Amino acid sequence: MYKLAYVSGNNMDIASSLRHTIDDINGSGGIIVQIVQSQSTSSNGFTIVTVTIIYTVQPR
Amino acid sequence: MKNPFSVDKSYKIRHKILGVLHDDWEIHNHEENRIVGSIKIANETNIPIGDIHRWQYLLVEKGEIVISDNDGQSMMSIQQVGISAFVDKRYIKEGIKDTLDGVYAWARILIPLGALILSVINFSSNRNLDSKIKGLETKINQIKK
């Protein structure tokens, strides 16, 4: 069964949250299937990045 | 319809979200990239979780927070821009400014409209007065004769 996680924020700031999310996935025995990144520029010039992670969790 | 005389709730919600994240950052010795769950924010602010999710994207767009969601578990992390926004009460100030702009916009319509109504009333009462004066003049002239 596929599960979804995502991190969204200013491109300079998302590294820590992304790391935390990936650690959570790994910690729960999840296997990352695909990572998708999209980005846009906000009205005040920030590059807002959204990283979406699709993963599966093996039944224990 | 939005009440032009009250501060829009989106400003208050954004300020409160930043407030919880700021307090957590302060309690934990200014540790960067602290992650706080949306449920904790909802519990501490009494803001419905749906409203938090609705308005959080405006904070993301300004670079004030980073949001993450893992299988429905939503979390937020305050950034330096967000800390400044809270300390500066940016959303409270913006909310008050927006409200005053709304009041000003209504005043621009209502004041000339009120003045127009008053001049119509004045005009009609002056006409009545004119006809009364003319009546009196005629009576005086008749008495003089």
Instruction: Test A17 with B61 for CB contact under 8 angstroms.
Output: no
Tokens of B30: 């200014």
What is the model's pLDDT at position B7?
82
Decide if B123 is inside a domain.
no
Residue B41 to residue B37: CA distance in whole angstroms: 7
Tokens of B106: 């209504």
Decide if B138 is inside a domain.
no
Output the 3-class SS for chain B.
CCCCCCCCHHHHHHHHHHHHHHHHHHHCCCCCCCCEEHHHHHHHHCCCHHHHHHHHHHHHHCCCEEEEEECCEEEEEECHHHHHHHHCCHHHHHHHHHHHHHHHHHHHHHHHHHHHHHHHHHHHHHHHHHHHHHHHHHHHHHHHC
Considering CB atoms only, which of B57, B66, B71 is closest to A14? B66
Per the CB < 8 A criterion, the answer to whether B85 and B91 are in contact is yes
| Percentage of residues of chain B with pLDDT beyond 70 | 98
pLDDT band at residue B1, thresholds of 50, 70 and 90? Answer: low
Q: Which CATH superfamily is domain A2-57 in?
A: ACT domain (3.30.70.260)
pLDDT band at residue B87, thresholds of 50, 70 and 90? Answer: very high
Query: Residue B70 sits in a domain of what CATH number?
Result: 1.10.10.10
Q: Which of B60, B65, B79 to mutate to test the interface with A (most CBs of A within 10 A)?
A: B60
Residue-range domain boundaries for chain A = 2-57
Decide if B80 is inside a domain.
yes
Decide if B126 is inside a domain.
no
Considering CB atoms only, which of B60, B62, B71 is closest to A8? B60
Domain that holds residue B45: 9-109
Q: Tell me the pLDDT tens digit for each residue of A2-43.
A: 999 999 999 999 999 999 999 999 999 999 999 999 999 998
What ipTM was predicted for this assembly?
0.90
